[in-house]
């Protein structure tokens, strides 16, 4: 794939992922154009003044994914769309459920429609482990968004647009990560953990960006790409960040899981295993001829869960990752 000929738009472009994505793309891939699409003009202004984004190829569009006409205008001439905009805070989604639906579900519909109307070539949406067997509204909205993007391929007709998704776990350093909370609590001498058995999948911002870029390059339309990433015990993360602090177990919160799942046992039947990722193939690929996807079939009736993972990060490895992030 020749990135120098691509005009890229990223929704939620001023978020943690969006900024990391823009920085790597501008530094390494030299795209024709990079459009930062977000609803926060202050964050866009702040981003403009960062040296990493002093680039004449960058455009800043103020807009909301709820606004379909604005998306259509923003996608004129665009070849690649990365959909990262979402309401992500679980309590905020529960307290404002209709707003979560309007952004995460109706916003997905608007991105799909605008991309088809503007003949965008490749669209990839960011999903989450919370979309698998969801127990909260955020996860439920992301599950629906996944289904919309995958089956959005059947709306394309004779057009060239193709849709796929990526799905991964907690991102170290992002605004939704527990790590910043632990860092703030460290100053008080006490870290709060909901359950000492809790595990999560773990990925760095840079790894998530490079994974998304790889998936854009290989996507054919309809896949859900899942990286093979390590798990962490949340209590080990707390010990890595604040080894001198006391740990207070406060009990699991509503809408929270003890362990997360990236591939369910039902999805295993549609999943292929590659060296660095799993690929969940579409159940109803009406838009293309049946093919045999690369990789080996995943064992049926198995799951890819954070508590049964083959890869783990211990306290020392987490501490090193946090140190590397601080110096990045």
Catalytic residues: 130
Q: What is d(CA 54, CA 38) in angstroms, rounded to the nearest whole number?
A: 18
* CA gap 275, 297 in Å, rounded: 12
Q: Is the dihedral of CA 51, 57, 61, 67 positive or negative?
A: negative
Structure tokens of 240?
């890595």
Q: How far apart are CA 101 and CA 212, in angstroms?
A: 24
Calpha distance 41→58 (Å, rounded): 15
* Separation of alpha carbons 134 and 104, rounded Å: 14
For residue 188, how many C-alpha atoms fall within 13 Å in the half-sphere facing its CB?
A: 10
Q: Would you state the structure tokens that stand for residue 202, as one six-digit string?
A: 């773990």
């Amino acid at each position: 794939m020749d990135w120098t000929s691509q005009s890229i738009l990223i929704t939620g472009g001023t978020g943690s992922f969006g900024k990391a994505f823009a920085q790597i793309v501008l530094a390494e891939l030299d795209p024709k154009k990079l459009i930062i699409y977000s609803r926060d003009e202050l964050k866009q202004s702040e981003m403009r003044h960062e040296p990493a984004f002093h680039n004449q190829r960058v455009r800043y569009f103020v807009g909301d994914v709820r606004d379909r006409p604005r998306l259509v205008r923003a996608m004129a001439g665009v070849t690649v769309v990365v959909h990262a905009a979402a309401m992500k805070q679980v309590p905020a989604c529960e307290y404002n459920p209709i707003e979560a639906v309007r952004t995460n579900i109706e916003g997905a519909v608007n991105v799909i429609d605008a991309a088809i109307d503007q003949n965008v070539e490749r669209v990839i949406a960011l999903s989450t482990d919370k979309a698998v067997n969801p127990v909260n509204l955020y996860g439920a909205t992301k599950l629906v968004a996944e289904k919309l993007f995958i089956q959005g391929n059947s709306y394309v007709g004779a057009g060239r647009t193709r849709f796929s998704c990526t799905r991964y776990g907690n991102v170290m350093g992002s605004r939704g990560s527990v790590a910043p909370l632990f860092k703030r609590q460290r100053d008080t001498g006490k870290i709060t953990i909901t359950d000492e058995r809790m595990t999560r999948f773990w990925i760095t911002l840079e790894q998530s960006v490079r994974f998304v870029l790889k998936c854009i390059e290989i996507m054919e339309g309809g896949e859900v790409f899942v990286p093979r990433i390590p798990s962490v015990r949340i209590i080990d993360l707390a010990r890595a960040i604040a080894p001198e602090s006391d740990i207070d177990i406060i009990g699991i919160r509503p809408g929270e899981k003890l362990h997360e799942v990236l591939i369910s046992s039902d999805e295993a039947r549609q999943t292929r295993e590659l060296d660095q990722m799993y690929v969940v193939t579409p159940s109803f690929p009406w838009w293309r001829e049946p093919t045999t996807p690369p990789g080996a079939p995943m064992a049926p009736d198995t799951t890819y869960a954070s508590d049964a993972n083959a890869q783990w990060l211990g306290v020392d490895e987490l501490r090193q990752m946090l140190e590397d992030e601080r110096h990045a």
